A = this chain, B = another copy of it.
Amino acid sequence: MKNKAITDREVDFAQWYTDVVKAAHLAEYSNVKGCIVFEPNGYAIWEKMQSVLDKMFKETGHQNVYMPMFIPESLLKKEGELIEGFAPECAWVTQGGAGNALEERMAVRPTSETLFSDYYSSKINSYRDLPKLYNQWCNVVRWEKETRPFLRTREFLWQEGHTIHETAKEAEEETLRMLNVYKTFFEEYLAIPAITGRKTEKEKFAGAEYTYTIESLMYNGVALQSGTTHYFGQKFSKAYDIKFLNRNNQQEYVYQTSWGVTTRMIGALIMVHSDENGLVLPPKIAPRQVAIVPIGNDEQIVQLANSICDKLKASGVTAFVDTTDRTPGYKFAEHEVNGIPVRVELGKRDFENGVITLARRDTREKITVDMNCDIVNEVKTLLDNIQSNLYDRALKRRDELTYVCQNMEEVEKIMNTKPGFVKAMWCGDQECELKMKEIRGTKSRCILENEEPVGDKCVCCGKKAKHLVVWGIQY
């Protein structure tokens, strides 16, 4: 039985995506252009992501802070490349109080390098004050023209880490450390295989010396930039005058990084794992892992439901009993569309036969277990299986949609039929990047620094290649 509110993913992927967002009550369009309402089911996923990541950040020595959301224009302008990159995307506050014009307009933060730099410049004196490893969870605004729920909205939620260090080496290590934290989070929690590498000059962050990225592939073969970490060197510290007395008793500018992931990850979860029956969530990120549905009002069955629920909760599984006044079929469909990984069905006939039915969301299989089994262990094993099955399935899909190309004809053929990640050699010229873009907007995703080359000639111009690059059509 298929959920009728959801379009077939193979027929119209964009519509399917919107249908899943709606049907699973993740978000709703708002009357504020380009902004969405995060509904309880959607926000709960973000809360879960935050709690896992925040722990990982703290374990790697980071502390949370909170900076103002407004940036005076003059402060934003101090670093030239940053303002160039972001000025076309800013929302500006020009009036405050009873309609009074401000002396200086202020941008609503599109990112907070400027504010962190300004703060650090007044706080750092000596190498003893370093490093500072700060992060903040907040909302940011980028004035996008085309928006899609979670993937691209004018306001979104994210975390932004901003660190300063005594040496370039330490800062570069930090840039890689956080890239690996993101990779771990994607693979172990979101069950999404992640490619990591360096952005080309054209695609790097405005103002960064270089940018690392984590790239994932959606079910339809489109690539999603899923998180970035930036090494700034001394670019911002020179622009904002963040100096310290180094160990040789000399004034030196600090070395800086920033890194961030956003609510876009909810979009990635949908587009990698979900299906025609709605949301599919990896158990490790699902706000609710197990729905227990007693069928009918039999006192013994309701008791059994509650006892299973208590046992699961005591062992750290987030479970709930659904005793709402609706038919079992309605409940099953709802828990399915909401992506709850495991459903425990307690029917009268099963009860009489001494068994319990477990339904897994990923494959929609049903499993029968003995009523006297170690139910906590059964459910936990099943949750683990679902977690690894989702990862394996996503990896298989990505591998199927990953190609090696030697020339533009091959790239064109793939991107026009069954797109995905294209691995191909590149000479390093931006001109070739621009030519690739003519093929359905194909962009370099990242330079793979630790992989064997797949040839020696640029896929575009045929000249001597410098880098192995992953290309893809971008969200």
Using CB atoms and an 8 Å cutoff, list the residues of chain A in contact with chain B.
28, 30-32, 35-40, 43-44, 46-47, 63-72, 75, 87-99, 105-106, 108, 115, 118-119, 122-123, 134, 138-139, 141, 143, 145, 154-155, 157
Specify the chain B residue showing the minimal Cβ separation from A70: B32
Complex CA–CA separation, A72 to B154 (angstroms) = 14
**Contact check: which of B68, B92, B145 meets A30 at CB < 8 Å?**
B68
CB pair B94 A65 closer than 8 Å: no
Q: What residues on B are CB-neighbors of A155 within 8 Å?
A: 68-70
Give the secondary structure class of A's interface: mixed
Complex CA–CA separation, A66 to B263 (angstroms) = 12
CB pair B92 A94 closer than 8 Å: yes
CB pair B98 A91 closer than 8 Å: no
CB pair B28 A43 closer than 8 Å: no
CB pair B66 A157 closer than 8 Å: yes
Q: What residues on B are CB-neighbors of A36 within 8 Å?
A: 68
CB distance from A135 to the nearest CB of B (A): 10
CB pair B93 A64 closer than 8 Å: no
* Given A35-B68, A44-B64, A64-B43: A97 and B88 interface contact (C-beta under 8 Å): yes
Q: What residues on B are CB-neighbors of A68 within 8 Å?
A: 30, 32, 35-37, 155
Chain B CB within 10 Å, residue with most, of A30, A123, A145: A30
Q: What residues on B are CB-neighbors of A138 within 8 Å?
A: 139
Complex CA–CA separation, A307 to B123 (angstroms) = 35
CB pair A99 B92 closer than 8 Å: yes
CB pair B92 A40 closer than 8 Å: no
Specify the chain B residue showing the minimal Cβ separation from A116: B37
Complex CA–CA separation, A138 to B44 (angstroms) = 15
16 new A-B pairs (CB below 8 Å) besides A28-B123, A69-B155, A95-B105?
A28-B119, A28-B122, A35-B68, A36-B68, A37-B66, A43-B65, A44-B63, A47-B64, A66-B157, A68-B155, A69-B141, A70-B91, A92-B93, A94-B95, A97-B145, A138-B139
